[in-house]
Amino acid sequence: MKRTLIVAMWLFAGTNAAIAQDYKVTVTEEDEPMERGDFEPTWESLGTYETPEWFRDAKFGIWAHWGPQCVEASGDWMARKMYLEGSYQYKYHVEHYGHPSEFGFKDVLPLFKAERWHPDSLVAYYKRVGARYFFALGNHHDNYDLWDSKYQPWNSMNIGPKRDVLGEWAEAAKNAGLPFGISLHADHAWTWYEPSRRYDRSGKKMGVPYDGWLTKADGIGKWWEGLDPQDLYAQDHEPSRATWADGMIHNQWAWGEGASLPSQGFVTNFYNRTLDAINRYNPDLLYFDATVMPFYPISDAGLKIAAHFYNHNGNVRKGEMSAVMFGKILDEQQRKAITWDVERGAPSEIVPEPWQTCTCLGDWHYNTRTYEKGYKSATLVVRQLVDIVSKNGNLLLSVPLRADGTFDEKEKAVLDELGQWLKTNGESIYGTRPWAVFGEGPVAEKGVAIKAQGFNDGQYRKMDSREIRFNQTKKYLYATPMAWPKDGKLTIATLAAGSKHFAKKIKSVYLLGYGKLKVMQDDGGLHIELPKATNRIAPVIRIKK
């Protein structure tokens, strides 16, 4: 999932209407008709969408970004990188499982057993930590569906755990009373799996093709007899330009720069699988790891998925729509139609439309090297959450699971500490809205630019007690320094006497989890004497409006 994405300049060239008339691949609705309702598959119609209040109030969700790529515990994009000769994942796979000409990713799938996975207890724990919605992975770029898929035989009911993973997650979220989200990423398998048709360029296996060339006929007498590897790898097509350049996929993510054009069959298959998941599990949230939306702007698939999702959600809930659909790198018009997702980062200003950051405690798929190095601390997670909320956003935090369906003790320690902080200070997060300004401090004043779809969350490691973020309810203003001041003295310059943002004279403030504090307000700011730190993360100051 992590990547440096260079978006083709033609993506937003011209008007949306002009682009809409130039689709190269149109989906068919023969198997999965788009549900009708208030929304049509156009930007104009989708632009009438309004973000539901529940999402604006929720602020924090947890994501199980979990599937068969966790088997080898070598990190994200493992199913691609195992075909990149010389990479860590390639070397690990060859040493522990075999050469990719003999043991490919298809052969990893049966090893994904989920033998210790208990979705009800996991989701209940995430709720206790403080999550107000829950996301599950429906499929990744590896093209394996984590449910009893009608349109993808390489799925979790047929191979691996022999369980409807998505269905069990959905039921667990329902039992916990949490809105349920599904993330779907398989639209990029077309280019993502291209290395599966390579071969070693040195060594004993030099020139021996990897298993991305296999077809159904090759399976006779094998464990996968009757299955077609091309339904998984999707490589029966002309490769993209510079397909042997490992990093070229990042330039081609928006279907430009010589990316191989997906077939109508591939695009329609993804469309059908997505509608199948929506119709079965009635999600409240839908996430795509795509520029704008799946196959945009070369296809109408994404617009039809959005219209179907909104119409289905509204029809199932009898007009009280709860739907939120996410896309990346959106322009202003598109942000009115779907919700902007920023990966591992945040903008440097308050954004008018509600938005979301997706990030992870470590790597997106479970990685033993991340375990050894260490995860993000609860302090960093809180800094990111507070900053995002101050700018009208939500935080979706991925908690990597091992292949057996459990998280490790280091992750639990981070989540437990995060949960304790939210238990005391959650009133400054949930149900709040941005204030007149989002914050003050060196980082706030300088700003940190977004790179591609995000990737600027290194800023949170640089923050200290001078960095303060604000948000509000109708009754209170909250000010949260990103750390406890070492000398116990805090000055909030934005709340100086005569502030244009807060004209009322401030006589006292309240420290959440402690009580009232003595303060002094002058032209230099609001000066506060804090007690000894009551937690290891950050204090939250509450001021009555």
Q: What is the pTM of this model?
A: 0.94
CB 121 within 8 A of CB 411: no
pLDDT for 2 equals 37
pLDDT at 70 over 70: yes
What is the average per-residue pLDDT within 59-80? 98
Q: What is the pLDDT of residues 423-435, one digit of tens each?
A: 999 999 999 999 9
Local confidence band at 9 (pLDDT 50, 70, 90 cut-offs): very low
Query: How far apart are the two ends of the chain, measured CA to CA in Å?
Result: 43
Rounded to whole angstroms, the Cα distance separating 356 from 369 reads 28
What is the average per-residue pLDDT within 57-80? 98
Q: What is the pLDDT of residues 266-281, one digit of tens each?
A: 999 999 999 999 999 9
Q: What is the pLDDT of residues 446-503, one digit of tens each?
A: 999 988 888 899 999 989 999 999 999 999 999 999 999 999 999 999 999 999 999 9
The burial class, CB within 10 Å (0-12 / 13-18 / 19+), for 75 is buried
Rounded to whole angstroms, the Cα distance separating 497 from 506 reads 8
pLDDT for 3 equals 37
Which residues touch 310 (CB under 8 Å, ≥6 apart)?
A: 37, 38, 39, 46, 49, 321, 323, 325
pLDDT at 1 over 50: no
Q: What is the pLDDT of residues 272-326, one digit of tens each?
A: 999 999 999 999 999 999 999 999 999 999 999 999 999 999 999 988 899 999 9
pLDDT at 19 over 80: no
Tell the residue number behind the tokens 């691996």, with chain if given.
160
Local confidence band at 507 (pLDDT 50, 70, 90 cut-offs): confident
What is the average per-residue pLDDT within 240-246? 98
The region, left, alpha or beta by phi > 0 then psi within -120 to 50, assigned to residue 392 is left
CB 160 within 8 A of CB 106: no
Angle at 292 between CA 286 and CA 293, to 5 degrees: 50
Phi, psi of 380, rounded to the nearest 5 degrees: -65, -40
Tell the residue number behind the tokens 């209040």, with chain if given.
53
pLDDT at 26 over 50: yes
pLDDT for 259 equals 97
pLDDT for 508 equals 81
Copy the structure tokens of residue 201: 């360029």
Q: Which of 208, 224, 204 is nearest to 216 (CA)?
A: 224
pLDDT for 112 equals 98
pLDDT for 455 equals 87
pLDDT at 21 over 70: no
pLDDT for 452 equals 87
Lowest mean pLDDT among 13-22, 229-238, 461-470, 531-540: 13-22
Q: How many helices (H) and strands (E) does the chain have?
A: 18, 16
- Give the pairing type, strands 180-184 and 285-291: parallel
pLDDT for 349 equals 97
The burial class, CB within 10 Å (0-12 / 13-18 / 19+), for 187 is buried
Can you give 410-462 as a three-state secondary structure string? HHHHHHHHHHHHHHHHHHHCCCCECCCCCEECHHHHHCCCCECCECCHHHHHH
pLDDT at 516 over 50: yes
